Amino acid sequence: MNNCIEFPKGTSFLVTGGAGFIGSNIVEKILYLGHKVKVLDNFSTGKRENIAEFLKKSNFELIEGDIRDINTCRTACKDVDYVIHQAAWGSVPRSIEMPVLYDDINVKGHLNMMQAARENNVKKFVYASSSAVYGDDPILPKQEGSEGKVISPYALTKRINEEYADLYYRLYGLETVGLRYFNVFGKRQDPNGAYAAVIPKFVKELLGGIQPVIYGDGETSRDFIFIDNVVEANLKACIATSEASGKAFNIGYGQKTSLNDLYKKLSELLEKIDISPRYEKEREGDIKHSTASIEKAKEILKYNPQYSVNEGLELTIDWYKNNL
């Protein structure tokens, strides 16, 4: 990973959702850099094993609590320089089943965290948005400022998060930076459950000799981005100039990969080319194609993804082979 990200000695971070897939990887990097980290997590989707190795470190603190409780958020933001807000519920299909819960967690929780950060004079509030905000806009690559109509409650919660973050910057001066994640993958991503992401699911099933399911004809494409690139983006957002504040940026690799091509690559890497996928009908709320333009993030955040998709897949497979 690019090692030019530096913070003054004694810098402290709060990572919400720090026991989750992305959050725990961010925490690991901050601890590696020698800084203090607090994690706020209620373990509704995060896993204790993701942070087990950090618990014994003197510069790590766990706060078990819910972002829907404003007082918990205020306590967590005390004596913190940077908030990296990852706590949310993901999954487009699940949000279609549970729109009210998604609004409660993803919108109210986000607002609580920004308010707590503002009251505690946090230097920067960096938060997870999503490529889902592009909705039905057909233009590729996806470019900030060209958003269509959202097609899921999850996407709407992320769109609202961005609007609130922009408002909090303009109204109260809280320096907010949104990161529109495309399809993040890497170590600690959960392969289990009906809403698991495609890469860990494919890997687990192929390793187990199970025939994976591809929804649609397999020509659906995504911009897959390795977790270490996403960690870099979060830390660079923390030290970005005020030009970044109030804005949201695409965080992808800038490369299109179809599900068929992804499947072929994974089956080759796992030496499971004899297992063919099973095709089923497309899922409601899924976008057909998604590729990021990352020029704005490169220019303003100095984002520079170090790992290609193939490099990331190889590292990810190594991790799953040792941890599944």
Distance from the Cα of residue 300 to its chain's centroid: 19
- Identify whether 154 is a catalytic site residue: yes
- Which residues does 270 contact at the CB level (< 8 Å), separation at least 6? 203, 206, 207, 317
Task: Please count the residues of the chain.
Answer: 324
Q: Which residue has the tokens 């499947």?
A: 263
Q: Give the tokens for residue 57.
A: 């470190």
Q: Which residue has the tokens 């729109």?
A: 99
Which stretches within the chain are classed as H helix?
21-32, 48-51, 70-77, 92-97, 99-102, 109-119, 153-172, 198-207, 227-238, 259-269, 295-296, 309-323
Is residue 179 within 8 A of residue 234, CB to CB? The reply is yes
> Of 82, 102, 127, 154, which residue is the catalytic one?
154
- Which residues does 5 contact at the CB level (< 8 Å), separation at least 6? 33, 232, 235, 236, 239
Active site residues: 154
